[in-house]
Structure 1
Amino acid sequence: MAATTAQSMGTLPSGLEICTTFPDIFYLPELVFGGLVWILVASTYVAPQNPLGWVMFVSVFCFVMTFIWMIIFAVGAHRSSSAWAAADFVYHFLAVLFYLSAGVDLAYITLIMKHIDSRMYKIDISAVVFAFATTLLYFIHALLSAIRWKHF
């Protein structure tokens, strides 16, 4: 059972605690959904490749950074300081902004390309859904990280 929000808000977890405390429990879903965006966008074909470059950058960047961030917390390199709590909030807030802009860009490109290939259109729709779901996960993580930072 996950630890309560009040218990986990005063300290930064390390080790396996990141799998049981809020907001750190969101690391794995962020990785899974972000990885799905990355895979789905990479599996489609767009005639001008440039429009989806931002979406690929955001999905790959956030995937790698979230993985690194999760490892930092898992090995306890953060030393439970308020600076790390602030950095956790800042990173997740930036990830929200990045994913929101990438999701809007992806939705726009999907609407433009919908008459070209129905199979690719369905894959793009899936990517849009997962991009906005990932945005929501990062938003919840950022919100709970801000609350934790406030309680430090």
Structure 2
Amino acid sequence: MASTTSTDVLPAGCRIFTTVPDLCFLPEFVFGGLVWILVASTRVYPDNPLGWVMFVSVFCFVMTTLWIFIFLCGANQSSIWPTLDVAYHFIAAVFYLSASVALAYITFVRGRATLQPAELLKNYRLDIAAVVMSYVATLLYFIHAILSGIRWRRS
């Protein structure tokens, strides 16, 4: 009879690419990187809200990269890692949600100008793409947090 308690709560190595919550790693990585690239490629005005968007996208990109390497190396086998996994992805979802709202507001305000030179129109379109990617990244982190929470409760 199989044991219901397992010390191998979180996947390690290449198994992270086959488990349900951890399948979100690569899309989070890709969409977060796209937000970073799209916001960085436009004129950062006003500084304060877009600075927060850049911080969130770079922070989550770096932390997700670190998280993937921790999981790939198998250093996540301690009993505290399921809790850390839920906490990180929930915090990332909240950060991305706040950054997405700020970015959407700034993009909306920029789009209200009726006459736009070609350069401003290009930046506006890049900002719209960044808003969409930011909300997709928010959704991915939120789904990952929920699925990691379910996995945590089962352990």
Would you call these one fold, judging by a TM-score over 0.5? yes
Residue 155 of structure 2 is aligned to residue 141 of structure 1 = no
Of the two, which has the highest radius of gyration?
Answer: 2
Alpha-carbon distance in 2 for matches of 1:18, 1:53: 32
Residue number in structure 1 paired with 2:3: none
User: Per-residue displacement from partner, 1:10-49 (whole Å, max 9, x unpaired)?
Assistant: 7210000011111011111000000000000000113432
Residue of structure 1 in register with 2:23 after alignment: 25
Partners of 2:49 and 2:142 lie apart in 1 by 24
Partner of 1:7: none
Hey, which bits of structure 1, 4+ residues long, moved more than 6 A?
Answer: none
88 and 120 in structure 1: CA distance in 2 versus 1, 3 angstrom threshold? same
Partner residue, 1:97: 94
5+ residue gaps, structure 2, are 1-7
TM-score computed with the length of structure 1 as normaliser? 0.90
Alignment of 1:26-41 (within 5 A): 26-41=24-39
1:1-150 superposed matches below 5 A: 11-79=9-77, 81-114=78-111, 115=113, 116=116, 117-150=120-153
Runs of 5+ consecutive residues of structure 1 not aligned to the other structure: 1-9
Shift of 1:118: 1.4
2:16 is paired with a residue whose SS is helix
- The amino acid that maps onto 2:24 is F
CA distance in 2, matches of 1:46, 1:82: 42
d(CA) in 1 for partners of 2:59, 2:44: 21
Q: CA deviation at 1:123?
A: 0.4
Q: Deviations over 1:116-144 (max 9, x none)?
A: 52111110000000000000000110000
Aligned to 2:5: none
Q: How many residues align?
A: 142
Q: C-alpha displacement at 1:83, in angstroms?
A: 1.2
The TM-score with structure 2 as length reference comes to 0.88
CA offsets 1:94-126 (integer angstroms, 9 cap, x no match): 000000000000001101112252111110000
State the Cα RMSD in Å.
1.2
- Counterpart CA distance in 2 for 1:127 and 1:98 is 15
Name the amino acid aligned to 1:125: I
Letter in 2 for 1:38: W
Q: Which moved more, 1:47-56 or 1:96-105?
A: 47-56
Three-state SS of the structure 2 residue aligned to 1:146 is: helix
